[in-house]
Each structure stands twice: as structure tokens, then as C-alpha cells.
Chain A
């Protein structure tokens, strides 16, 4: 079976804490992810993209429909689906090394066995020398790299990333995008890559990184369109190319109206 993730008619309804109203965050979501595919999810504020990711990660359950991962129903979080959060969610009381080793530690791997892997990962993300530092001592970009290393420590087959680069400045973001592509295997062979679901506000970012882009609409959150990004890999050299710009404009056209709507509503 080639699909890593399958969503069948998934919907999510909230009861608003403020006024008790029913809010339909997502409705009729139907798609599947191939193994090794890099999928980006974009959409205006309030379209439910983070909710979608949260359900695939197992933090919440859909109100309707079902979510399958590798053929089995998703019943909760698990180490095979690694997650990266927008605000890093690093454990502030643990050092960089302490954070990175948490996954193996939680799964019962002994200190002697996990030390080498943790060290290798820290070097891989370029944090050598910072093993004993606490998250509060690190810059945004470094924290994100630490969060990445932490996720990779369990060698998950799927990466779920919720706007992971939203909180860093533009220059750092470009550097991290390149690193992300490198670590994922942008230049390598298809079959060995992890499956990625990448939620972002940045359309340029989506076009740069992904094989396919799902555009969500809001109220209720549903799939507006699926855009194929038929650009060759490795992608990093294609940054700022006309083909990318054209695709980005195409995606933006799909979102623009609802995005404007979202802004005027948010300021209320």
C-alpha cells in the first residue's frame, strides 16, 4: 500500500467556549498522502489547517469521518508521527541534549545506547557545542533546530510540522528552509524520504518545499483545491525562479478573498 495517510470525509465541530455556539472547523476533508511525499497545507487564518494537523498527529479526534495512518486508524499520538510546533514546545527545564534525547528516553532506550545518536543529531542540525544550554539561552533559529533534532531522534516515518518557521526572521527562515530540504532528502531518492505534512502561511515556502499543496477555504474548513507542484528536485536552486513565482501567484489567487475577510474579522 502506497498511501501513508488517508483522510475520509473528516470533519471537526467545536463548541465555542465563549458563546456555546457550534463552530464547524473542518468539513468533508478527503485526501491521501503517498509515502515519501511532501505535502503543504495553506489557507487563510481560521481555515482549520492546524486542526487538521492536530488530528493526524492524534491530539484530537475528528467528529466525523476517519483518519488512517499506514492502514490503521489513528488513535492517539505516537513516535512514528513526529511533530514540530510553531512555538517549538521545547522543554525549558531540559538542556538541548536533554530535549533531543527525550524521545529515545521515553521509549526506554538506555543512556549508553542513546548518547551516540543524540550527539550525531545535534551535530547534524548544527548545534554542536550547545548541548548543555537551556532553550531560553538560544536564539529562535537555534531553538527550531533543536526541536527538529528532537523530532528526528525517534526516526519517524512521518513529519507533521505546524508553521515551524513562522516565528523566525526572514533570513533565518531561508537558511532553515534549505536545511530542512537537505535533511529531508531533497537531493536524494524518492523512496527513502519521510512523508511530510507542512502547514504554513507562507505560499512561497509551500511552493518551494512541497510536491503538492492543499489549499483550504474557511467557514467551514474544506479543501478548495489541490495544486501539484511539478518542479524538479533539488528545489533550493529554484528559489525566486519565474516558475515558482507563477505557481505562488496561482495559489494566492485561490486564497486572497478569504484572507482579506479573515483580517477584517480578526481585528474585531
Chain B
């Protein structure tokens, strides 16, 4: 889209040449600027990030931390789905429930999951379940919202058709409601997963700061970052961790999208 009067589309080669050359120039000047001002160690720089990155990968600590975080994301996500989907479907199909719970749910949904950390720490301790609580809390609402909306949008005629064919209530739920809501629920799942991923990091950071310096084993990537922040003070490692977090985020979303395409081929998106 262009706002000029007439414009030829950009040459195919320029499409990747421009960003690539900008990137190279950016990285080069960044590296040069940091070296010139002797601020290595205070400010990250490309060569440092690369070095830290290779060291940490070879070290293996990051894999342990990552698996810890991912485990909790998975569990929290599952809890969110198991609790959220039935609740959402119920709200979507029973108007009374919808009207009475809407206000309460909207308020609870507006509470940033990380805000629960102080209570969660008190209730579930610092070991890891507090983080899990935050993740599950974050994952529940996208499922509830999407499932309820999907249920409300279900074509009534499909339900009538099933009933006319002799289906009882549970059969209708199983064969019409659930498959019909699947596309939207899947979208909700993707949102829930991205929320869960962001929340686990936030929770681990918060917990990590609480227990910083107490020498406990690193449970997740968030705590690892805190340790790097306050103990090791390795700026480059921090940026490396950020990149890894972004990479994982991309991978899980792409993965889920592939699953969606496989399982729900009738819903071309």
C-alpha cells in the first residue's frame, strides 16, 4: 500500500537487502560505539552477546532452566484449559450464568496475573507453585472468553438439526457444541499460551528477586535472569536470554498454529 500517486512495487531483491544491510550497519555501529566508549560490561554489545550465548549454551544451565519454565507453562496452561473451557462453554450456553458471572469475571480478568504474586507466595511458597498459580490464572481467561463467545456464536440450526435427529443433551454437546467451538477455542489457546509464557517469566523474575542471593537452585529462566542480573552482572547474557525467550515464544506459537491446521482442517485461516 502506498500513499503516493503511482509507484512501482519494490524490487524483490531490495526487500531483503534493505533490512539486512540496515541490520549489519546497526550491529557494526553498536559494536563500535560500545568499544569506543569502553562501556563493555555495562552495556551489551553484539560480540559479547555472541560470546555469552555460546558459553551458556555449551554450559547447559539454560536448558535446565528452560525446561523448568516450560514444564510449569505446560501445567499451568493445562489447568487453564481444563478449568476455562467447560466454564466458558457453560457461560456461553446458559444465559443466566452469563449475565450473573460476567461482571465478576471481567473484574478478575482485568487483574494482571503478576499482581497475585504476593498472595501466591504466601499461599504456595516460593518453590515453584506460586509461579504455577500465576500461569494458570493467566491461562484461564482467554479460554473462558473464547469458549463462551464461540458457544454463543454457534448456529442454533445445527443444534436443532441434531435434536431433530434424536440426539440427547450430552450428544449434542459432544458432537455439535464442542467441534463447533474448537476453532475459536484454539485461538484462545494460542492467546493463553502467550499469556502463560509471559506470566511465567514475570513470576519467576518476581520470585527470583525475592530470594536473590539465597543460593537456592535455579528453577526457571526467570530466576536464572535474576541471578545473572544481581550476582553475575552479565549484561550480554541477559540479552542472550531475551533472544532465547523470544525464540521459544515464536516456536510454541508456530507449533500451536501447525497443530491447529492439522486438527481443524475445515477451518481455513
Q: A157: shortest Cβ distance to chain B, in Å? A: 21
Q: B3: shortest Cβ distance to chain A, in Å? A: 13
Q: Which chain A residue has the least Cβ–Cβ distance from B5?
A: A76
How long is the Cα–Cα vector from A212 to B5 in the complex, in angstroms?
Answer: 31
How long is the Cα–Cα vector from A219 to B6 in the complex, in angstroms?
Answer: 24
How long is the Cα–Cα vector from A60 to B6 in the complex, in angstroms?
Answer: 6
Q: B-side binding surface: helix, strand, loop or mixed?
A: loop
Q: A60: shortest Cβ distance to chain B, in Å? A: 6
Q: Which chain B residue has the least Cβ–Cβ distance from A77?
A: B5
How long is the Cα–Cα vector from A255 to B213 in the complex, in angstroms?
Answer: 85
A61 within 8 A of B: yes
Chain B positions within 8 Å of A76 at CB level = 5-6
Q: Which chain B residue has the least Cβ–Cβ distance from A58?
A: B5
Binary interface encoding of chain A residues 73-102 relative to chain B, with 1 for a CB under 8 A from any of its CBs, else 0: 000110000000000000000000000000
How long is the Cα–Cα vector from A61 to B5 in the complex, in angstroms?
Answer: 10
For chain B residues 1-51, which have a beta carbon within 8 Å of chain A?
Answer: 5-6
Chain A positions within 8 Å of B5 at CB level = 58-59, 76-77
Q: A159: shortest Cβ distance to chain B, in Å? A: 21
Chain B positions within 8 Å of A59 at CB level = 5-6
How long is the Cα–Cα vector from A114 to B246 in the complex, in angstroms?
Answer: 56
How long is the Cα–Cα vector from A132 to B154 in the complex, in angstroms?
Answer: 38
Chain A positions within 8 Å of B6 at CB level = 59-61, 76
How long is the Cα–Cα vector from A58 to B5 in the complex, in angstroms?
Answer: 9
How long is the Cα–Cα vector from A61 to B6 in the complex, in angstroms?
Answer: 7
Binary interface encoding of chain A residues 49-83 relative to chain B, with 1 for a CB under 8 A from any of its CBs, else 0: 00000000011110000000000000011000000
How long is the Cα–Cα vector from A180 to B135 in the complex, in angstroms?
Answer: 65
The contact sample of 6 A-B pairs, CB cut-off 8 A, is A58-B5, A59-B5, A59-B6, A60-B6, A61-B6, A77-B5
Nearest 8 pairs of A and B residues by beta carbon = A76-B5, A61-B6, A60-B6, A77-B5, A58-B5, A59-B5, A59-B6, A76-B6
